[in-house]
Amino acid sequence: MKLYHGDIVYSENRDKLNVFENSYIAIENGTVEGIYSSIPEKFTGAEVIDHGRGLIIPAFSDLHVHASQFIQRGIGMDLLLNDWLNTYTFPQESHFADPEYAEPIYDAYINDMIRNGTFHASIFTTIHRNTVNILYKKLEEKGLWALVGKVNMDFQSPAYLCETTDKSLRETEIFLEEHSSGERVKPILTPRFVPTCSRELLSGLGKLGKKYGVGVQTHVVESLWEAGEARRLFPDCNSDSQIYEKTGLLGNGPSIFAHFIFPTEDDFRVVKDYDCIAVHCPEATTNVIAGIMAVYHQQELGVNITLGSDIGAGVKNGIYRQCAAAVKLSKLKEFYEPEIGKTITISNAFYMATKAPGSVFGKIGAFEPGYLFNALVIDGVEDKNHPMTPEQRLERFCYAGDDRNITARYLAGNKLSCV
């Protein structure tokens, strides 16, 4: 049993923060036992780790990130999505056939992820199984939680990134077999998006998903071009997400739809029928001008929305920065499209960064009893002689903080060092 003292904050739901100033959170075997305003008599003699006025919050989750694009973050931001992919992303990803190229990039990505307080992620890689395994092993060694996917592309893709359908399915099944027993790090099917995947490939992946009980991550209605191209290629489907439904990819595990900016009524139906998760990537979608998600409107319709960095279209690993960006974009959405836009609160954004995505990995992302103590301590955001409330410090950290304000990191109750 250990007790951690500080100002404790976590999300109860998207509208409410639970705040416990000058309190103690009791951790037993890595999980939360309770939160107390003073040390209970039953814990007399337990070790106390005092963080003073430090803000103790749940660690962040990133449900859409391309680890292979870490090396190109902040590059080519003057291009629109399709041109950016073809000019920078696809040529860069082709180098991941070489382990000597891939390994230092994956090392840098993971170290930066930990520095910025992200301990759980759903991660895209490339088509190359040999180097996907490098990332997988490194995440396991660090003790992080992750869903990792070998990307599938067999259609309308550059020759250097285009597998045959048979090879793509065969390599994917080997990947699933190799990692079927993962505990914290698990495989997930990863068709890049409809415009790069044939019907045969998607149907084959659907069969693998059912056979191995694994979910899917992909890009859905990310841009008007992508949504239109999906319907052109699959004229028997009314929407992007229905393609994944008809090919059997949904309902086998977590279904994570990145972006979800231009959904149709049929997209909404599919998302709700299969409890899919939509991932808002505010920084990335403005960098490549894909569009702005109507977050509040979709939440009111019952869509479960989380946040993603979408590196490398996004340029920062810190999901706390995505909290701030999500609020900013919701204000723009309300200003220009008031019929479907409404400004969200920082509390809502924090929920999308912690408790909502944490549920994908188990009891993670909050400090209710039984939840894992995957946590961060935030300090140094106040101005001298101007104390702030815990809520104000959380907001300032999201807008103006960085990894230097994270003074301690805890993973299942154990202090985590970072490079």
* pLDDT value at 419 more than 80: no
The bridge status of strand 60-66 relative to strand 47-58 is unpaired
Q: How far apart (Å, rounded) are the C-alpha atoms in residues 306 and 178? A: 29
pLDDT in tens, 105-133: 999 999 999 999 999 999 999 999 999 99
CB contact at 8 A, 267 and 248: no
Domains of the chain: 2-58+365-415 (2.30.40.10), 60-358 (3.20.20.140)
Q: How far apart (Å, rounded) are the C-alpha atoms in residues 315 and 69? A: 10
Q: How far apart (Å, rounded) are the C-alpha atoms in residues 310 and 315? A: 8
Q: Residue 38 — φ and ψ, nearest 5°?
A: -145, 165
Residue with tokens 């045969």: 200
pLDDT in tens, 174-188: 999 999 888 999 999
Q: Residue 156 — φ and ψ, nearest 5°?
A: 50, 40
Contacts of 294 (CB under 8 A, 6+ apart): 333, 337, 340, 341
pTM confidence score: 0.97
Kindly report the CA angle at 193 between 226 and 264, in degrees rounded to 5? 50
pLDDT for the residue numbered 418: 78
Alpha helices in 116-218 (DSSP H): 129-142, 165-178, 199-212
Q: How far apart (Å, rounded) are the C-alpha atoms in residues 143 and 125? A: 19
Six-digit token string for 234: 């699959």
Six-digit token string for 203: 């149907």
pLDDT (average), residues 11-35: 97
Q: In terms of Cα–Cα distance, which of 337, 258, 367, 265 is closest to 305?
A: 258
* pLDDT value at 288 more than 80: yes
pLDDT (average), residues 86-92: 94
Angle of the 319-336 helix axis to the 390-400 helix axis, nearest 10? 90
Residue 30: CB atoms within 10 Å: 14
Report the run of H or E that residue 381 belongs to, with start and end. none
CB contact at 8 A, 181 and 155: no
The bridge status of strand 47-58 relative to strand 31-36 is unpaired
pLDDT for the residue numbered 18: 98
First CA to last CA across the chain, in angstroms? 28
Six-digit token string for 40: 């209970």
Mean of the per-residue pLDDT values for the chain? 96
